[in-house]
Structure 1
Amino acid sequence: MKRLTLTFGGALLALAAGAACAQNFRIGLQEDPDILDPHRARTYVGRIVFTSLCDKLVDIDPKLHFVPQLATSWTFSPDNKVLTFKLRTDALFHDGSKFDAAAAKANLERAMTLPDSLRKGELRSIEKVEAPDPQTLVLTLKQPDATLLAQLSDRAGMMLSPKTFTDDVAAVGRKPVCSGPYKFVERVQNDRIVLEKFDKYYDAKDYAFQRVTFLPIPDTTVRLSNLRAGDLDMLERLNPSDAAQVKGDSSLQFAPVAGLGFQQFMFNIANGKRAEDNPFKDKRVRQAFQYAIDRDAINEVIGGGIFQPAQQPFPPASPYHSDKFPVTKRDVAKARALLKQAGLERVKAELMFGNNTTTSSVAEMVQAMASEAGFDLSLRPTEYAALQKESAGGNFQAVMLGWSGRVDPDGNIHAFVTCKGALNDAHYCNPEVDKLLNEARTVTDEARRRAIYDQAQAIIQDELPGVYTYYQPWPFALSRKVKGFTPYPDGMIRLKGVSLAQK
């Protein structure tokens, strides 16, 4: 009897372990996120984690329409200079404190004033924030801002518990306390981020998983192997070359969606000492580099046909995509001629890029193509969060960066090329570009706004602080057991209504 009891007990433990495993949804990420503080963060994978951790004032639907989240409704004044939100009354932060207008005000003011906040530029149009009652948030603007709702549907609109706002700014990112469907449990750098269901979330019944674990696995082959072995339930950014075998695997499902973002090469023009002797300071060298690369070949060889070549920051789905800037075709003779005009036979330079399978393949291909045109590129693979830090600090000559894209066109251009743009790691600066892009922020008429962007792009396409390579698709791969997942063009993973079918 004793042996039988032990066996029965072991069976119960095994069943319990299986049930626990079924409640833990595991997501394979291409990189490890940077700091988990939405006001200071900049990585795409960080935004994926935030989607489950931190609710925003506003969200989007699959067709990019703005929809309520922490705000139930919003209205602009007739002159478009006052934006009033009505807020939920049933939302709590993970520490049990109540979300209300005063909390929203504290968050926006922190995002606008924190010395190293990356949201300052996104909220620059706000003159003052008021909370006249717990349900009402009023933003008075310096001028009309056509971008503001889009900004508040992303990190600028994410809400943290104001109780965590102390002099120890870094503490927020070590243990973020938000108001989303899942709360923070632990983080092991470059290994895992674990979230746990927040039972007091207002829509908790629509979230099936007790735990969500994010696992950074830069090698796409390893990531896919883990999915096939059942150690992951889904992964983001499947290697395009693996799409065919995923489609042919009955245990998996392929869920791609056209994205809003892009990949680009950015050149260090004036950011610190490494810019001083950087050959890419000369725009003719930057132009030569563009003629050296073949975007179509990158799409066909590495992208599996889903890396649509890009010449501008606005994807074809955007109403601001312009036919005035067709994709530059490879022309080795023109590249060599431009280098000759710059007084150079060959150019020695370093290319930094994120250390994952896909970007490594692109970097190696570009290295080979550029060599034929007179460039001797040394390759510097770097873990992605470290790459962003190095890039912001000016420790690069040329860097390959991805951008996940934004609903509003301003989010794909302003921060990258304005003189004080938060993501302008090149330190490119042209006052006329600033003037045009700042003006575009105030114009709500689509045709007028598009014309302004065309003027700015004409300058940027000539001076070329960066070279766009392709528009970023979001190819997700999932276990066949996953039900109810809808891919969104912003590339975020929304788990509302998602479940795992039982065997």
Structure 2
Amino acid sequence: MRLLLAALALVAASASARTLTVCTEASPDGFDYSLFHANSTADASSEALYNRLVEFEPGTTKLVPALAERWELSADGKTYTFHLRAGVAFHTTPWFKPTRPLTADDVVYSFARQIDAKHPWHGQPRQGWYYAAAMQFGQLVKSVTAVDARTVRIELARPEAPFLADVAMGFLSVLSAEYAQQLQAAGHMEDMNLKPVGTGPFVFRSHVKDAVVRYDAHPGYFRGKVALDKLIFSISPDPATRLQRLKAGECDIGLYPMPQAWDEIRSDGKLRLLTGPGLVTTFVGLNVEHKPLDDRRVRQALGLATDRASIARAVYGGAASPAGNPYPPSQWSYDDKAGPALQDLAKARELLKAAGLANGFALKLWIRAGAGATNPNPRATAELLQADWARIGVKVEIVTLEFGELLKRTRAGEHDATLLAWASDNGDPDNFLTPNFACAAVAGGSNVARWCRKDFDALLAEARETADQGKRDALYRRAQALYRDDAPWVPLTYPTTAVATSKRVVNMKVSPFGLNNYSAVDVK
């Protein structure tokens, strides 16, 4: 009888728990976001498990205090001093029991492992530190020092206008130095990515690849325990399946429904469609290290052969606009004097002929399996490109890869052309331009075009060093002109971001960064 009563109590407790189930598009690549850059990984790691010194208010690009309650910047613009909150608790898990709250040592560890080649953790990940390399933090940050237990001083090599926004990015989430010492002593450093420990609103419980990720609410969260008791990510790569599961009540949130289903969602009395303009560009990255894509005339020809308006209509159902620049009009410094190029097949053929390719050439176009936040149907997009480029003699073989594999092999430079998207991480134009086009970002793998121009790099460096937004705006417009001239990308669309929810869900906000944060969400 006692066992029966205990079992019944457990069932009752489970039934009364406030659980949010999210049908998401892909398994996370891991749980240490410093190593990765897919939004599905950020949702499962930096958004759920961790905090930064400063963060973005959910649904906006507004910076707010987080682990740091305040900070100062020196007169020369090169030294930041952050003052940490008292009593911030790390997660208690079966694999780690913290003996102290957050201190400056945790911040130093979280930065130094990524930028200090002599740090014992620096060489641990085989793939390197994705964002730190892409954003050249090793050259930017001179030192990170624990002044005392609650004060951190960061010295830069030069003034860096976007630095505070950079600090709010997921790759600079603060991890536990005490846990790192435990793992290093045990010889299990890889567990930092597999058995995560953070300060964030949710505590990691389990992960079954391509199936489910489970979390519990963090009872000691410094902002107060969230309304939810449990958070579940149910992996459903197909957007139609996600919507059907949402309708059936198996999920409370269905991420990224296809635009063609938006009216259906709006007309369903039990569902709600949330939309917002994203700081997102979809594109084809052209590997300039592969012939004949090393010839800019060939790259320009592919751009001119592309009917972007048809892609926006057919794939996005009109919920996207044709793209011409590396970032959308909602990003300040967007060059509105140069809109998307209209399809011009005659000029495209002339360019190929001038490049000695009058009969065309063959290339492989890589796409991801399934669909994500930025492209509801990569296969349909690729087939439209295949048809467009065939009209100028270019024979396209479409290759479908699992998303993690696609990213890994693209970072290694194995591709001819890859269909991808970039969502801003911090609302600053530099976040589009430096990770994607800086010469240093080739080695880090984020510059998938593997394109390098010293004059372009010089414009970015000058823009980062001035705090005058008017000057930065002018420099970024000049950089966009160089980008358009050399055509390392074929920009395709600026999509609108959408999330479908049950009407039971409240306080869900659509992020301009394409991320999903559930710390304020509740279910009624």
Pairing partner for 2:361 from 347, 352, 365: 347
The SS at the match of 1:394 is coil
1:172 to 178, 192, 206: 192
Q: Contact 2:312–2:320 (CA<8 Å) still a contact in 1?
A: yes
Whether 2:33 is the aligned partner of 1:38: answer yes
**Cα offset for 1:17?**
4.8
Aligned counterparts of 1:381 and 1:159: Cα–Cα separation in 2: 35
Per the TM alignment, residue 32 of structure 1 is displaced from its structure 2 partner at its CA by 2.2
Call closer, same or farther: CA 1:13–1:147 in 2, change over 3 Å: closer
Counterpart contact for 1:36–1:173, Cα < 8 Å: yes
- Structure-1 residue corresponding to 2:153: 138
Alpha-carbon distance in structure 2 between the residues aligned to 1:91 and 1:7:
39
CA–CA distance in structure 2, aligned partners of residues 117 and 73 of structure 1: 28
Residue matched to 2:436: 416
Contact 1:419 1:429 in 2 (8 A): yes
The CA distance in 1 between the partners of 2:56 and 2:266, in whole Å, is: 28
Alignment partner of 1:456 is 2:479: yes
Counterparts of 1:152-167 in structure 2, within 5 Å, are 152-165=167-180, 166=184
Inter-partner Cα distance in structure 1 for 2:519 and 2:232: 16
Equivalence for 2:77: 80
1:118 aligns with one of 130, 154, 178: 130
Alpha-carbon contact 2:316-2:495 (below 8 Å) kept: no
Cα displacement (A) at 1:6 = 13
Q: Is the 8 Å Cα contact of residues 191 and 216 (structure 1) preserved in structure 2?
A: yes
1:25 aligns with 20
* Partner residue in 1 for 2:48: 52
Q: Give the Cα separation in 1 of the matches to 2:235 and 2:222.
A: 29
In 2, the alpha carbon distance for the partners of 1:237 and 1:313 equals 22
TM-score of the superposition, structure 2-length normalised?
A: 0.89
Distance 2:381 2:327 in 1: 21
Amino acid at match of 1:164: Y
Per the alignment, residue 298 of structure 1 pairs with 311
Deviation at residue 157 of structure 1 after TM alignment: 2.5
- In structure 1, C-alpha distance between the alignment counterparts of 2:233 and 2:224, rounded to whole Å: 20
Whole-Å Cα distance in 1 between the matches of residues 337 and 491 of structure 2?
15
Q: Once the 2 structures are TM-superposed, how far is the Cα of residue 11 of structure 1 from its aligned partner?
A: 8.2
TM-superposed CA distance for 1:196, in Å, is 1.5
Instruction: Name the CA distance, whole Å, in 2 between partners of 1:224 and 1:27.
Output: 11
Bigger mean CA deviation after superposition, 246-255 or 215-224: 215-224
Matched, 1:188 2:208: yes
Q: Select the residue among 409, 426, 434 that pairs with 2:457.
A: 434
Q: Which amino acid aligns with 2:328?
A: P
Q: Report how far residue 57 of structure 1 moved.
A: 1.1
The corresponding residue for 1:108 is 111
Q: CA deviation at 1:14?
A: 6.3
SS across alignment from 2:418? strand
Per-residue deviation, residues 287-322 of structure 1 (Å, max 9, x unmatched)? 111111111111111112221222112321122111
- Rounded Cα–Cα distance in structure 2 between residues aligned with 1:78 and 1:90: 31
Report if the CA contact (8 A) 2:308-2:322 is conserved.
yes
Counterpart CA distance in 1 for 2:14 and 2:221 is 26
User: Would the alpha carbon gap of residues 334 and 65 (structure 1) be closer, same or farther in structure 2, given more than 3 Å must change?
Assistant: same
Q: Name the SS of the counterpart of 2:397 in structure 1.
A: strand
Paired with 1:42 and 1:156, the residues of 2 have a C-alpha distance of 9
Q: For residues 47-446 of structure 1, what are the structure 2 equivalents within 5 Å?
A: 47-49=42-44, 50-61=46-57, 62-95=59-92, 96=98, 97-113=100-116, 114-115=122-123, 116-121=128-133, 122=135, 123=137, 124-165=139-180, 166=184, 168-205=188-225, 207-270=226-289, 275=290, 278-344=291-357, 345-357=359-371, 358-406=377-425, 407-421=427-441, 422=444, 423-446=446-469
Mapped partners of 2:47, 2:224: distance in 1: 15
Q: Which amino acid aligns with 2:66?
A: Q
1:174 deviates by 1.0
| Conservation of the 8 A alpha-carbon contact between 1:108 and 1:156 | no
Check the 8 A contact 2:242/2:255 in 1, yes or no.
Answer: no
1:473 deviates by 2.6
Number of residues paired by the alignment? 489
Q: Secondary structure at the match of 1:27?
A: strand
Going from structure 1 to structure 2, the CA distance change for 1:500 and 1:343 (only over 3 Å counts) comes to same
Distance in 1 (alpha carbons) for counterparts of 2:6 and 2:84:
50
- Cα distance between partner residues in 2 of 1:476 and 1:101: 37
SS at the partner of 1:199?
coil
| Deviation (angstroms), 1:325 | 2.3
**Residues 150 and 408 in structure 1, CA contact (< 8 A), matched pair in contact too:** yes
CA distance, structure 2, for counterparts of residue 137 and residue 67 of structure 1 = 18
Given that residues 107 and 152 in structure 2 are in contact (C-alpha distance below 8 angstroms), is that contact kept between their aligned partners in structure 1?
yes
In structure 1, what is the equivalent of residue 119 of structure 2? none
Is residue 40–residue 118 contact of structure 1 (8 Å, CA) maintained in 2? Answer: yes
CA RMSD of aligned residues (A): 2.2
Preserved contact between residue 336 and residue 373 of structure 1 (Cα < 8 Å) = yes
Classify the secondary structure of the residue corresponding to 2:48.
helix
Q: Is the 8 A contact 1:112 1:119 kept in 2?
A: no
Secondary structure at 2:278 match in 1: strand
TM-score by length of 1: 0.92
Mapped partners of 2:15, 2:333: distance in 1: 50
Mark the runs of 5 or more structure 2 residues left unpaired by the alignment: 93-97, 117-121, 372-376
Rounded Cα–Cα distance in structure 2 between residues aligned with 1:368 and 1:145: 44
Name the residue aligned to 2:95: none
Aligned residue identity for 1:65: K
What is the distance in 2 between the residues matched to 1:498 and 1:39? Answer: 25
Separation (CA, whole Å) in 2 of partners of 1:119 and 1:141 = 17
- Deviations along 1:230-266, one digit per CA (max 9) or x if unpaired, are 1111122221111111111111100011111211110
- Give me the whole-angstrom Cα distance separating, in 2, the residues matched to 1:12 and 1:77: 58
Q: Give the unaligned 5+ runs of structure 1.
A: none
Question: Using a 3 Å threshold, how does the CA distance of structure 1 residues 425 and 169 change in structure 2: closer, same or farther?
Answer: farther
C-alpha separation in 1, matches of 2:163 and 2:4: 61
Aligned letter for 2:516?
Answer: I
8 A contact 1:351–1:379 mirrored in 2? yes
Distance 2:429 2:197 in 1: 30
Query: Contact between 1:481 and 1:500, CA under 8 Å: does it hold in 2?
Result: yes
Output the CA distance in 1 between the equivalents of 2:201 and 2:360. 55
Q: Distance in 2 between matches of 1:187 and 1:386?
A: 19
**Is the contact made by 1:279 and 1:349 (CA closer than 8 Å) also made in structure 2?**
no
User: What is the CA–CA distance in structure 2 between the aligned matches of 1:79 and 1:314, rounded to whole Å?
Assistant: 30
Task: Tell me how far apart the structure 1 counterparts of residues 325 and 213 of structure 2 sit (CA, whole Å).
Answer: 34
Report the residue type matching 1:471 in the other structure. Y
For the 8 Å contact 2:429–2:476, the answer to whether it is kept is: no
Query: Aligned letter for 2:201?
Result: P
State the alpha-carbon separation in 2 of the partners of residues 143 and 242 from structure 1: 49
Deviation at 1:169, TM superposition (A): 4.0
Contact 2:47 2:170 (8 Å CA) reproduced: no
Which amino acid in the other structure matches residue 499 of structure 1? D
Q: Please report how far the alpha carbon of residue 15 of structure 1 lies from its aligned counterpart in structure 2 after TM superposition.
A: 4.7
